[in-house]
Chains A and B, each alone.
Chain A
């Protein structure tokens, strides 16, 4: 009897989970293992703002119920960190000193929030927003009518900002040139889009460079606020939370030494294969070669990411299809004068 193939997928987001589903369909006898640092099964980032609509139980946010993984024999190793990939022995090394063998590997580890070097030391005083626990903590920190200061911001941050303002919170964005990232808007063209944000109740401030974030003693004059954002030249602003949104940084540290090409992301051909025959990549982690543009590019957005997972699974099981973008990149202003981005759309 033929030994079933062992597929390992690093990352349980939209790309990784879609790939696992497709692999099960295309190779019913295979062993499929998804590795994720998350404690929970797949929750879409796009659903996290629902905690501000009163969703208190994370189980309501699961994209697939636990039975789905059992029924499809997809093993999800949660709370597990990949420390390295050994391409010669086709093994993953976990942080907890266990190895796991694979026949084919898909890297779909996504991206973490990028943080400028100068602000990294203040991370403990900032609120990230990528997991359910992040969302719940944010909700608890804000209480009713809380004040949020967003640094940099990008379309992920602005997506959250619109939910926060709808929930009655006060949101100010201290913007830089990447305000609408990954949309590429020239500085001279940003005015109508900024106005659209203000129509949505989001305040946008340019030209203030944050240099520090400090905790504030609640018994001080700060009142209900617990954070102080300090700008260049000493001015400061108080708030309940400070959140960084400086774009995404592919989560790839564990791939160093894996004998694959890395630039900012993991470099893959249009079939999503890396320079290693047994390793593919999908989602925010990969930079895909575009023969037309003669460069490597990232394809962001739910639909693109999901499509990449789908395609990678097909190519890992014998197809040779090339990626095509599954969505537009056009930033729009609605009839109500509000901003709308295709990067906010999801299933």
Chain B
């Protein structure tokens, strides 16, 4: 049994009421007589008490919202509902506590899951299903847009056709307008790191201070050039190396030799992005505004993991596989590069 909580009519001429505060957080139990919310009219602020008991769920309005009289502002349910949507709204205003008494183990277990992009659970219904109208889903599919992204960004469901424009803006912000959104493909590889460590030690003895990421930039550029034609349009091959918060740009790093490898001043988007996640604890990153070709390198015990994400129109899958194989070969046997 659910009970609707409506914006009450506190005066004869009252059309709306402003929610001044919520007395309970979503998911919290409300007993009969408990104050659910404070409502302000043009005359006074009044505490609204619950006439039914239940768990506060489906909170529709934030603090400060002006709500028409009779409108449902929330419901009371028999069981606490997984209420990420309203919880986030409430928390955004700094009111209320954790929406429900979920065991801590569960909420911790969820954190990494949220970081892996394809299965964003944050804005889902309890059963993890994205709520969107059939029309919204069709339009999103036709435009190659991911409704999950909007659900996460907005924290509000269900999504409707009118929301597609917002999603389009969200997704296409870094892309030139009207261009079809490229589909990123991914290839992952794992390589033993021994040879790379040894190679770096040798280089450092001979050439001074060279960090691992820039060595990888050279490897990556070399592997890419080995597999595809770097035509005039792509030349020079600009590689950005991202470690921590900064980005360093190199122009044709694989053609310069390690002793002459110096960063260049550039703000253009690079052809190839090499991201080193070492020491950050991050397993995988895919960002909408990534370069068309992006390699993420992360440490594993005695190994290096490589994730190559690429736009199919820029690089066909067959070539991408060759690029990764070449990169793996270079990390396994760095001496190949010198030969």
Is chain B found bound to chain A in the same assembly?
no
Q: Which residues of B contact A (CB under 8 A)?
A: none
Q: Which residues of A contact B (CB under 8 A)?
A: none
